[in-house]
Every structure is written in structure tokens, then in C-alpha cells.
Copies of this chain bind each other. A is one copy, B any other.
Amino acid sequence: MIPKNHPRYESLILREKIKKANEEGYLADSGMIAHGRGEAFDYLIGEKTIATAHEAIKAAVATFILAKDPVISVNGNSVALAIDDIINLAKVLNGKIEINLFYRTKERVKIIKNLFEKKGTDVLGSDDDELLFIEDLESPRATASKNGIYSADLVLVSLEDGDRTEILVNSGKKVIAIDLNPLSRTAQMADITIVDNIIRTIPLMIEVANEFKEKDDKYLKMIIANFSNQENLKKSLESIKLK
């Protein structure tokens, strides 16, 4: 048990969730190392949602609402940290959820599918689905469910591998990324990058979604038009305080 007054309490709780996911068998070893990188970057942005992330969240939610066929891509890390928030976000935004593992194994996919099913939520991307290769790239990194990411016009990824993001972007899909490292290839290639921890960002996205659902398309398009990802990333980097 981690004492509640521990100065690193919140961070240690997340670390425990990641370790538990690894014990339960649905997180690759690389997922634990990736979590450590995330811890470092979250520490550097002060473990709070920075102003630029709030702006990116607005543009992301507006883009999501205007999308025809949006899909939320999940992996071991995002499920370990935020499964309930992900389910809620998908409901509010009428998005599908698709399992998408960089180190894909039948076993890991099955465990994650079960976690969602226990909560009454259908997910795509399991071995029960028809899986195709995006742009005919015969790579495990290009695998996508026919009725999910394969045919989606928008994909929300979090803690995603750079190669995978590149394939999504090159195939003409819009990509929204949640990534704590503003310098990562995923962060640099996505159309909209939210530099934040998913455990803080997804609840904020749900709030904004509830507000934006009442708005007309013109309003949402204006939000998007006023957003520059390049500018936002630059400012996010400046928010990383080293003192």
C-alpha cells in the first residue's frame, strides 16, 4: 500500500496499475518501459494539464464530433490506466473502440477484449474480426479491423508507436494523438497532438464533448481553423520547465 501522503502518490498509483497489467498478461515488457518514459515527461510538464493541451483538447473534440467514422485505438497501457474513461469518451462521442497492439499476441488481445466485455462494451480489433492491412502494407503495424480503423476517417491514438502513426497519417486518416513527449514521432506526425497524461486528458475531453455537442458545425469548424498543431507543439515544449 502506498501512503496517501507520499509526495509521489498519484504517480505511484499509476505505476501500480501498469505493474498489475503486466502481471495480468496484457502489457508487453516494452509497455512498462514506455510508462517510465511517460513518467519522466509528465514530471517535466509538472504533472498537470498545460494550457496548450487544453487548446489541443478543444480542437480534438471538435474534429472528433465532425468526423464521419471515428475510432478510438487502445493498447495495453491506455487500458491499464484509463479503461473506464475510454469507454465513457466513446459513448459521449459515438466512437468505436479498437484494440491495437504493437506487440500483438492472441493472448493479450483476448485479455483486453474480456476487460471491455466485462464492462458491457464491444471492441473491434480482436481475432474475431476481419483484419486487413492499411494501404496493403503487409506489416503487423498496419493491421486494422475492416469496420474499424481500416475504414475510419479519424483515429484517436494514445501512447502510440511512431511507425504505426506514420502509416495512419500516410493513409489519409486524420490522427489525434495523446502523447506526453512532444518530441516523439507520433506527436510530431499527428494532426492534433495533446501533450498530456491520458488520465487527465480523457475526463477533460468528455467535459468538452458534452459542451461541444450542443454547438453547430460552424462553431466547431472555427475552433479547428484557429488551431495550429505546429504552433501548439512549440508552445508545449516551452512549458517544459527545468528548474
Contacts and interface: CB of A to CB of B under 8 A. Distances in A.
Interface of A: 15, 18-19, 22, 29-30, 32-41, 43, 181-183, 237-238, 240, 242-243
Contacts of A39: 33, 36-37, 40
A139 to B, nearest CB: 14
A36 B43 contact: no
A219 to B, nearest CB: 34
A132 B43 CA distance: 35
A176 to B, nearest CB: 22
13 contacts: A15-B30, A18-B33, A29-B32, A32-B36, A36-B39, A36-B40, A37-B37, A37-B39, A39-B40, A43-B183, A182-B242, A237-B242, A237-B243
Contacts of A19: 29-30, 33
A240 B237 CA distance: 12
A43 B33 CA distance: 14
A99 to B, nearest CB: 22
> A-B pairs with the 5 shortest C-beta distances?
A36-B36, A40-B40, A33-B36, A32-B32, A37-B40
A2 to B, nearest CB: 12
Contacts of A243: 237
A37 B29 CA distance: 14
Contacts of A183: 43, 242
Nearest to A34: B36
Given A22-B29, A32-B36, 7 more contacts: A19-B33, A32-B32, A34-B36, A36-B38, A36-B39, A36-B40, A37-B39
A117 to B, nearest CB: 27
A140 to B, nearest CB: 16
A50 to B, nearest CB: 13
Q: Point out which of A18, A30, A33, A183 has the most chain B C-beta atoms below 10 A from its C-beta.
A: A33
